[in-house]
Chain A
Amino acid sequence: MQTPPTNDGGTNDSGTNGTRANGSELVRFDKVTKRFGGTTVLDRLDFSVSTGKHVTLIGPSGSGKTTILRLLMTLVRPDEGTIRVDGDYLTHEERGGQLVKAGDRHVREVRKKIGMVFQHFNLFPNMKVLRNVTEAPVHVLGLDKDEAEQRGRELIELVGLTEQLDKYPSQLSGGQQQRVAIARALAMRPQVLLLDEVTSALDPELVAGVLDVLRDIATTTDITMLVVTHEMNFARDISDAVLMFDQGRIVESGSPDKMFSDPEHDRTREFLSTVL
């Protein structure tokens, strides 16, 4: 097995290397290990993403891609290693010069910089579309209701669902639900948006609408994106960098052009031949 290249995820420019900490490093994993039972899903993983970059994680299922997103969202906690977001430790905090497990309040503060869209949307079925989008801004960011609704309407317009404001999620198609979920995540104004196989659960004819919205967001905003997807054309379009994972390690990384047209490693070539 090849040694994984270090920390160049998200750096488009091959001249600069992400290992040298700089101010624009938004997400950084240091020697992160995650095990589930006896299986090591991530093995001392190092990587970083620079501010504003769009990084796509590819690889066979079980290679640890989704786990990276779930670690960032604190849905699972690392067994070893540290994760930093915008310079702050995510699940650790420094106390008296020591790095200790962080308390809930600290985690909550750092986590606010991150938003996530899930494969199965996970909209709140008991709330109408608009309230799905305004719930967290009101109760987490402390916006007043009118302001949150104003912003909510703008976001729902952005994802093209103004007509559906007053419907319940169950009255929408899968594609529409996922677009609401995107608006809901953006309403928190995260610095990083995590997209976890957001089109995998959709009927084929609904995929394009969701990807169009995401392309739009990728090109018109400066939000940083971490994307796990099997839509390789989409990945090629929006990514600044592509990381190929296998067995919890980064096998290879580079620009989408290089990765999709001329990958260096057999493992990458083999994987791409199965999905392209």
Chain B
Amino acid sequence: MNLDWNWDVVGDFMPVFWEGVAITLRALFLGSLTAFALGLVWALALRSPYAWVRWPVTAFTEFVRNTPLLVQLFFLYYVLPEWGPSMSALTTGIVGLGLHYSTYTAEVYRAGIDGVPVGQWEAATALSLPRGRTWLAVILPQAIRRVLPALGNYVIAMLKDSPMIAVIGALDMFGEARNFSNETFTTEAYTIVGLAFLVIAYPASLLIRFLERRLVLTS
């Protein structure tokens, strides 16, 4: 093992590093979209007047939130295909991240929806706005605006969990670094990847802090 920093190794790593970055960003983007969309579905289902809708969703979201993402990824990749269609490693990773985080975003949406003043519902009733329209035009725009920073924080959390998809063979930047380091008996790639996470996450958290202040000021 060589403890000196070697720029040649860094140069050799770069081509696969960029491939890894592309995979990380893709998993993060699609995983976030999945988490945002599914979380909203859960949040709305949990407000359903029907117990037969609420119950299964409660059970499912509690189950997913209280088991490790790593186990879920293994389950989706190795166990699920025995009954259903098998997905590529990357697709499985995206579904796993999205599904796991959707149980957190569901809570965020719930808080946002609860925070919309009751007068808004009353005004919608007084105008006889249909249920769907009330949600779409009145409640959700206000609820989501208020929870955007919280949703953003989960995107950053997801970024930091994203290396886990490497264990099922989806080569994100960490996966590429691991393979490269194993093959070349070097360690520089890990440092590069660590810095890369920081370079993505830190500006993102600054952006969220900015959003938070702006939304608080204008609402």
Give residues in A with beta carbon < 8 Å to B: 73-75, 108, 111-112, 114-116, 118, 120, 122-127, 135-136, 139-140, 170, 184-185, 188
Contact = CB atoms under 8 A, between A and B. Distances in A.
A246 to B, nearest CB: 26
B179 interface: no
A122 B120 contact: yes
Given A124-B120, A124-B138, A135-B137, A116 B126 contact: yes
B130 interface: yes
Interface in B102-146: 117, 119-120, 122-123, 125-130, 133, 137-138, 141-142, 145
A188 B128 contact: yes
Interface of B: prevailing SS = helix
Q: Which 6 A-B pairs have the closest CB atoms?
A: A136-B127, A122-B123, A122-B119, A116-B126, A126-B141, A139-B133
B49 to A, nearest CB: 11
Nearest to B117: A122
Given A124-B138, A140-B130, A185-B126, 6 more contacts: A122-B119, A125-B142, A126-B138, A139-B129, A140-B127, A140-B129
A195 to B, nearest CB: 12
Interface of B: 117, 119-120, 122-123, 125-130, 133, 137-138, 141-142, 145, 218-219
Nearest to A141: B128
B90 to A, nearest CB: 37
A183 to B, nearest CB: 12
Tell which of B123, B127, B138, B142 has the most Cβ of chain A within 10 Å. B127
A76 B130 CA distance: 18
Contacts of A170: 218
Given A135-B137, A139-B133, A124 B123 contact: yes
A145 B112 CA distance: 30
A135 B126 CA distance: 12
Nearest to A132: B123
A94 B190 CA distance: 75
A115 B133 CA distance: 18
A126 B142 contact: yes
20 contacts: A73-B122, A73-B125, A73-B126, A108-B128, A112-B128, A115-B126, A118-B119, A122-B117, A122-B123, A124-B120, A125-B142, A127-B137, A135-B127, A136-B128, A139-B130, A139-B133, A140-B128, A184-B127, A188-B127, A188-B128
Tell which of B117, B128, B137 has the most Cβ of chain A within 10 Å. B128
B119 A120 contact: yes
A74 B125 contact: yes
B120 to A, nearest CB: 6
B127 A75 contact: no
Contacts of B125: 73-75, 111
A139 B127 CA distance: 10
B24 to A, nearest CB: 34
B130 A75 contact: no
Contacts of B219: 125
A123 B117 CA distance: 11
Given A118-B122, A120-B119, A126 B145 contact: yes
Contacts of B128: 108, 111-112, 136, 140, 188
Nearest to B141: A126
A223 B142 CA distance: 33
A120 B120 CA distance: 10
Nearest to A137: B127
A90 B137 CA distance: 26
Contacts of B138: 124, 126
Contacts of B117: 122
Nearest to A70: B122
A136 B129 contact: yes
A74 B141 CA distance: 25
A135 B138 CA distance: 10
B186 to A, nearest CB: 54
A127 B120 CA distance: 12
Contacts of A140: 127-130
